[in-house]
Structure 1
C-alpha cells in the first residue's frame, strides 16, 4: 500500500485535534507547541488518551472525553525531564567503566594496549572496531586528539586513556566484551559491585539502547525496550520479573533500578535518587504503570523512605 496522506498546515493540525475531541482553551498555545515540538512527536503522548479502536489492529483517533492538551503537554514535559536525569546517570556509569577499563589495560599492557590484537578474543572484530575508532579520531576536533596527532607520528593513535574518550557507550560495550583478559574484566566488574563479568557485559549491552533513546530525544515513558536486564540476585526483590505479564520487565522501571544501583556505587552521596523521586511524584499512578512500575514500588528498595 502506498502512503498517500497529505501534509497538514499547523492550523489544519489544530483543527483536526479539536475535531477529534482534544480540549484546548487556547488554540494559539496549541499552535505554538505544534510548531516547536511537532504533531508527530506529541502524538506518542496523546495516543493513550484516544478511545479504544472499533476494530482490532486499527486506531480510533478520537480522544476520551475531557482529554486536555495540558495533560498531554505535562506528560511530554515529564518525559523530557526523565531523559535528562537518565542521561546524567548513564554518563557517570559510562565514564566510570571507560576509566577503569582503560587504566587496567594500560597498567597491564602499556599505553597502546588497544592496538594489540593479541589482547582481544576475536582479532577480526578488534580490527573492525579499531578501524571504526580510527575514523572517529581522524575527524575529531578535540584538542587532546589534535595535540597527539600534531606531536607524535608513532603509534598512529593516541594512548588508550585518550582514545577511550572517543568511544560511544555501544562501542565501549563491544571493546569490553572482546577483551581477552578475565582479570581486567573482573577489575571493572568489582569496581561496580556486580556479581559476574557476564552480568556486567549484559548490563552494558542492555543499557545502550536506553542511553541512545535518551540522547536522541526519544520517548522513555511507556516504551518497551528490546532486551531485559540480567538477573542479579541482590536486586531480585527490587525489579519486576523478566517474564512478567505485558512485558513489564522491558519497560523503564527495571532500568531505573539498575541505573540507581550503579550510580549509588559510583557516587554514594549524590542526589540523583531524590531528584528522580521528586520527578516521579509529578505524574499519576497510571503514568507510572505505563513505565512498568509495580503497585508496591514505594515499599521496595531503593525507593522506600526516600523523601
Structure 2
C-alpha cells in the first residue's frame, strides 16, 4: 500500500495528540520531549493508553484487537514520558549487568579453550568443538555450518575493530589473534554462538560456575541474554514487550525461583524472566553485588498514571512472589 501520512511539525504533532484526547498540562515541556526524543519513540509508551476495539481478523471468524485513534479518559502526555524514563533507567541497569556477564564469559571461554590451543577458536576440531553442534546448519535461513558462520562473523569483527591491541598484535605477532586476545572483540551474540558449539562437558563446566547444572538451559539463557543485549544496545522499548527468544527453564526444584515461571507459561514470554536470569548470573559473578537490590528498588518505583487505564509491573510478566526470592 502507498504510504500517505504527511510530515508534521512538532506543534502539529502535539495538536494531533490533543485532538485524540491526550491531556497536555505543559505544552513547552511536551514540545521539548517531541523535539529531543521523537514522536515515534514516545508512541510506544502512549500506545497502551489508546482505546481498543475487538474486530474480526479474517474470514474464519478469528477475533483481534485494533487500536483506535483515541486515548483513554484522563491520559496525560506525562504518563508516556514517565514510562519512557522508567524504561530508559531499566536499560541502563541492564547494560551494567550484561557487561559484567559478557566479560566473565570472555574469560571462561578463553581460559577453557586457550588451555588446549592458543588458536582453538579458529580450529574446528573435535578437541575443541562438538562436531554435531559445529557442523549443523546455523539457522533455518542460513544453511551454512554453524562453525563457518561463526568464523565469518568473528573475522568481520576483527576486521572492523579499531582497537590498539588488535593493531599491536597484528604488527608484532601476525594475523591470527590468540583466543585470550580474540575474545575481546567478540560481542554477546558471538560469545553465545561460540559457547553453543562446545562439547556438552565444556558447556556444563562453564554453566556450573554460574550455579546451573543443565548445559542446555544455560545455553538458552545466553541466547536470550544476547537478544536482551541487542534491545538494550539499540535503546528499544523493553519493560512490557513480548520476548521472541523464550529461555528454557531447569527441572522443577533445581533452581527455586524458576518454579514460578514453570507454572505460568505466559510469563516466559515477558522480560521479567530475563531480568531474573540476569540477576542469577550477576550474583554468581559478584556475590557481594547490590545490583539486584538497586534494580528491585527501581521496579518498585514504577510510575503512577493519570490515565483511567492503569498499567503496572504485570506487563513485564513479573512473578507474584518475586520479592520473596529476589
* TM-score under structure 2 length normalisation: 0.85
Alpha-carbon distance in structure 2 between the residues aligned to 1:294 and 1:198: 23
Task: Report the TM-score when normalising by structure 1.
Answer: 0.90
Higher strand share: 2
2:162 equivalent among 120, 127, 141: 141
Alignment coverage as a number of residue pairs: 296
Q: Quote the Cα distance in structure 2 between the aligned partners of 1:177 and 1:295.
A: 33
Kept after mapping to 2: 8 A contact 1:243/1:249: no
**Uncovered stretches (5+) of structure 1, i.e. residues with no partner:** 303-307
Q: CA RMSD in A?
A: 1.9
Please list every run of 5 or more consecutive structure 2 residues that lacks an aligned counterpart in the other structure.
Answer: 56-63, 136-144, 305-309
Please say if 1:301 is aligned against 2:325.
yes
Q: Distance in 1 between matches of 2:259 and 2:20?
A: 39
Shift of the alpha carbon at 1:297?
2.8
Judge conservation of contact 2:42–2:84 (CA < 8 Å) in 1. Answer: yes
Provide the rounded CA distance (Å) in 1 between the counterparts of 2:70 and 2:54. 11
Q: CA deviation at 1:237?
A: 4.0
Question: Is the contact made by 2:261 and 2:319 (CA closer than 8 Å) also made in structure 1?
Answer: no
Contact preservation (8 Å) 2:106, 2:183: yes
Aligned partner of 1:78 among 86, 98, 106 = 86
Structure 2 equivalent of residue 102 of structure 1? 110
Partner of 1:184: 202
1:128 aligns with 2:149: yes
Give, in whole Å, the separation in 1 of the partners of 2:79 and 2:65.
26
Report 1:1-307 matches (<5 A). Answer: 1-53=1-53, 55=55, 56-107=64-115, 109-118=116-125, 119-120=128-129, 121=131, 122=134, 124-153=145-174, 156-179=175-198, 181-232=199-250, 233-238=253-258, 240-241=260-261, 244=264, 247-283=266-302, 284=304, 286-298=311-323, 300-302=324-326
The answer on whether the counterparts of 1:239 and 1:254 sit within 8 Å (CA) in structure 2 is no
Q: 1:182 to 1:248 in 2, by over 3 A?
A: closer
Q: 1:147 to 1:117 in 2, by over 3 A?
A: same
